[in-house]
Structure 1
């Protein structure tokens, strides 16, 4: 059974593409998260914002999805997830903003 995850795309006022994830990312739906991130990265030739402020849970499968895109992603994370991203080393590799 897959965990509830909602993925939406849009743009910031400056035109930067945004992928927003809400719910939980775990091994049951990490492939969906990876596919949405890959599609958003294909459409966006430059920087991509990934908004995780509505994400309640992110396990190692979800973290692994982010690593291949570290050079292009600007992450917005909730205060709950920010320490996880720091411990995983993602905050050292990409911009992570706590919202």
Structure 2
């Protein structure tokens, strides 16, 4: 059973935008994830994507992040569970990733 995707955006404590994500990100909801991320990117110059409550991330979700990495100041906060998929994808070479 998959965990529903929940996306909550808004300003963080430092004024930068934060997109908090809960659930699973896969090809069935990657477009929804991308649209939420685009809204946050339109509202601020830097966005922290909080993935600490994400339990699954597939290549479609990683592609959403890669597609926006070059043109935007993205920062990821991710659980140890996602460390391997992020490292294997090479995403830490293009965005700042903090593993918690």
Structure 2: 5+ residue stretches without partners: none
Alpha-carbon distance between aligned partners in 2 of 1:84 and 1:26, rounded to the nearest angstrom: 13
Alignment-derived partner of residue 86 in structure 2: 85
Alpha-carbon distance between aligned partners in 2 of 1:3 and 1:55, rounded to the nearest angstrom: 9
Q: Deviations over 1:37-84 (max 9, x none)?
A: 11110111x211000000000001111100122141000000011221
Alignment of 1:1-99 (within 5 A): 4-44=4-44, 46-71=45-70, 72-99=73-100
TM-score by length of 2: 0.91
The list of structure 1 runs, each at least 4 consecutive aligned residues, that deviate by more than 6 angstroms after superposition, is none
CA RMSD of aligned residues (A): 1.3
Alpha-carbon distance between aligned partners in 2 of 1:80 and 1:90, rounded to the nearest angstrom: 15
TM-score by length of 1: 0.92
Structure 1: 5+ residue stretches without partners: none
Q: Deviations over 1:12-38 (max 9, x none)?
A: 211111001100011111110010011
- Deviation, structure 1 residue 8: 0.3
